[in-house]
Amino acid sequence: MTSMIKTGMLMAALTAVFMVAGQAIGGSNGMILALVMAIAMNFFSYWFSDKMVLKMSGAREATQAEEPELHQMVARLAKRAELPMPKVYIIHKDTPNAFATGRNPDHAAVAVTTGLKSILKQDELAGVLAHELAHIKNRDILISTIAATMAGAIGTMASMAQYAMIFGGRSRNNGEGGGMIGNIAMMLLAPLGASLIQMAISRSREYQADATGAAICGRPQSLASALQQLENLNRRRPMDVNPATAQMYIVNPLSGSRMANLFSTHPPMQERIKRLGALTLANR
């Protein structure tokens, strides 16, 4: 419950940044326009984001005949999680990774790379799949999609502010908003603030999915072992994925510097493993 309250507060903060950005560009009319844009984009994200993510990732739906063992494992874990059976997708990449998508539990999908199946033991694979089912159970997919959409829109509005400043649009706006100073602040601070809030939302939901996934599979140590292997292999062999979809994966599929990792949407791996270790001790 505490995690959900924290996520709700962060989503409210992201919405506030969005509306302030609109006000900085176009005064009260800009703020209203920003709110309308937020509603429209969230509606689009709710209905179509899963299809877009699966297509961008090169995922292909796998039938039960093609992947009987994988389907059986997902079905068993979904039953334990009290979830409908999601669709199963395969991504033909050697680097082990996975993600879940879909607007709700009745319209969800789990995608895994071919490398994930070939590298992990059965109990470790179950831990990864349980983590992804936890995202579905906790409605994290919708939350992260909305956060990503709004953060991207704020970046677009920052570009609009730049054009407004260059062409003097604000001088014709009856003096509303922050003028040139407001536009400069908008261009610099709003995208940064939105990215930091999106990062905090994603990290909070990852911790919760680890805990829920551990409960679903019943073996926190198996999930911890899988996460460590995935972290090491993704660092050595980063995946070629669209950066917009990177936050969906169970571990960061992109390579990056130590500084870039500070702004990653994924929480530090050692902290995730530490928390799972605490769950293992608590279950003994």
pLDDT tens for 218-230 read 999 999 999 999 9
DSSP assignments along 117-137, one per residue: HHHS-HHHHHHHHHHHHHHHH
Compare 63 and 283 and report the one with higher pLDDT. Answer: 63
Phi first, then psi: give them for residue 112, nearest 5 degrees. Answer: -130, 150
Residue 175 CB burial class (10 angstroms; 0-12, 13-18, ≥19): exposed
Tokens of 163: 């054009």
- Parallel, antiparallel, or unpaired: how do β-strands 98-104 and 107-113 relate? antiparallel
> pLDDT value at position 225?
97
pLDDT above 90: residue 191: no
Span 200-221, pLDDT tens digits: 777 888 999 999 999 999 999 9
- Please identify which of the residues 66, 67, 69, 132 carries the catalytic annotation: 132
pLDDT above 90: residue 97: yes
Q: Give the closest residue to 103 by CA, choosing from 84, 90, 127, 116.
A: 84
Q: Give the closest residue to 75 by CA, choosing from 58, 88, 90, 62.
A: 88
- For residues 38 and 192, what is the distance between their CA atoms, to the nearest angstrom? 18
State how many domains the chain has.
Answer: 1
0.85 exceeded by the pTM? Answer: no
Phi first, then psi: give them for residue 38, nearest 5 degrees. Answer: -60, -45
> pLDDT value at position 170?
45
Over range 248-258, report the average pLDDT: 78
Tokens of 262: 């500070």
For residue 250, what is the DSSP state?
A: S
> pLDDT value at position 208?
92
Over range 23-42, report the average pLDDT: 69
In this prediction, what percent of the chain has a pLDDT beyond 70? 65
- For residues 162 and 165, what is the distance between their CA atoms, to the nearest angstrom? 5
Over range 162-189, report the average pLDDT: 56
Query: Which residues span the domain enclosing 87?
Result: 2-283
pLDDT above 50: residue 144: yes
pLDDT band at 241 (very low <50, low <70, confident <90, very high): confident
> pLDDT value at position 102?
87
In this prediction, what percent of the chain has a pLDDT beyond 90? 45
Compare 233 and 16 and report the one with higher pLDDT. Answer: 233
DSSP assignments along 40-101, one per residue: HHHHHHHHHHHHHHHHHTT-EE--TTTSHHHHHHHHHHHHHTT-PPPEEEEE--SS--EEEE
Element (H, E) at 11: helix 2-56
- For residues 134 and 254, what is the distance between their CA atoms, to the nearest angstrom? 23
Phi first, then psi: give them for residue 280, nearest 5 degrees. Answer: -60, -45
Cβ of 114: how many Cβ atoms within 10 Å? 14
Q: Do residues 201 and 269 touch, judged by C-beta distance below 8 A? A: no
Over range 23-46, report the average pLDDT: 70
Compare 217 and 199 and report the one with higher pLDDT. Answer: 217
> pLDDT value at position 92?
95
Bridge partners of 90, per DSSP, are 60, 112
The rounded mean pLDDT for the chain is 80
Over range 237-248, report the average pLDDT: 84
Over range 169-186, report the average pLDDT: 53
82 belongs to the catalytic site? no
Compare 16 and 51 and report the one with higher pLDDT. Answer: 51
Any idea which of 85-89, 194-198, 203-207, 241-245 has the lowest mean pLDDT? Answer: 194-198
Compare 64 and 256 and report the one with higher pLDDT. Answer: 64
Compare 180 and 128 and report the one with higher pLDDT. Answer: 128
pLDDT above 70: residue 121: yes
Q: Is 102 helix (H, G, I), strand (E, B) or coil?
A: strand
